Amino acid sequence: MRIRLCLAALSLVGGAGLTTLAAPAASAATCSDIDVVAARGTFEPGTLGAIVGDPVYAALQQKLTGRNLSGYKVNYPADLSPTSAAQGNADLVRHVSGQAAACPNQRFLLVGYSQGANVVDNSLGVSSDGAVVGSPIVATLPAAVAPRVAAVLLFGNPIRALGKSVTGPYQARTLDFCAKGDPICENGGGDVLAHLGYTADAGAAADFAATKV
The pairing of beta strand 174-177 with beta strand 149-155: parallel
**Cβ atoms < 10 Å from Cβ of 141:** 22
- Identify which of 114, 105, 111, 107 has the alpha carbon closest to the alpha carbon of residue 124: 111
Catalytic site residue 182? Answer: yes
Distance CA 164, CA 168 (A): 12
Dmax of the chain from CA atoms?
47
Catalytic site residue 195? Answer: yes
Catalytic residue, from 35, 135, 195, 201: name it. 195
Catalytic residue, from 32, 114, 123, 127: name it. 114
- Identify which of 208, 190, 197 has the alpha carbon closest to the alpha carbon of residue 150: 208
Catalytic residue, from 54, 91, 176, 182: name it. 182
Catalytic site residue 114? Answer: yes
Distance CA 185, CA 187 (A): 6
Task: Give the residue numbers annotated as catalytic, written as ranges.
Answer: 114, 182, 195
